[in-house]
Amino acid sequence: MATGRTHRPATRSRGIPEATVARLPLYLRALTALSERSVPTVSSEELAAAAGVNSAKLRKDFSYLGSYGTRGVGYDVEYLVYQISRELGLTQDWPVVIVGIGNLGAALANYGGFASRGFRVAALIDADPAMAGKPVAGIPVQHSDDLEKIIQDNGVSIGVIATPAGAAQAVCDRLVAAGVTSILNFAPTVLSVPDGVDVRKVDLSIELQILAFHEQRKAGEEAHTDGTGPAAVTREEPADAAASADQGPDGDVPAVMPA
In this predicted model, which residue has the larger pLDDT, 111 or 99? 99
Least confident range of 37-41, 90-94, 255-259: 255-259
CB-based burial label for 21 (10 Å; 0-12, 13-18, 19+): middle
Q: What is the mean pLDDT of the chain?
A: 83
- Note the pLDDT of residue 14: 56
Render pLDDT for 191-242 as a digit per residue (tens, 0 to 9). Answer: 999 999 999 999 888 889 999 999 998 887 777 666 655 444 444 444 443 3
| Contacts of 158 by beta carbon, 8 Å cutoff, 6+ apart | 94, 95, 96, 97, 119, 180, 182, 183, 184
Render pLDDT for 44-103 as a digit per residue (tens, 0 to 9). Answer: 999 999 999 999 999 999 999 988 888 888 999 999 999 999 898 887 789 999 999 999
CB-based burial label for 47 (10 Å; 0-12, 13-18, 19+): buried
| Type and span of the H or E element at 151 | helix 147-154
Q: Which DSSP string corresponds to 74-136?
A: BEEHHHHHHHHHHHTTTTS-EEEEEE--SHHHHHHHT-THHHHTTEEEEEEEES-GGGTT-EE
Task: Give all strands (DSSP E) within the chain, no chain letters.
Answer: 41-42, 75-76, 94-99, 119-126, 135-136, 139-143, 158-161, 182-185, 198-201
Q: What is d(CA 119, CA 48) in angstroms, rounded to the nearest whole number?
A: 26
| Contacts of 234 by beta carbon, 8 Å cutoff, 6+ apart | 243, 247, 251, 252
CB-based burial label for 38 (10 Å; 0-12, 13-18, 19+): exposed
Q: What is d(CA 34, CA 15) in angstroms, rounded to the nearest whole number?
A: 28
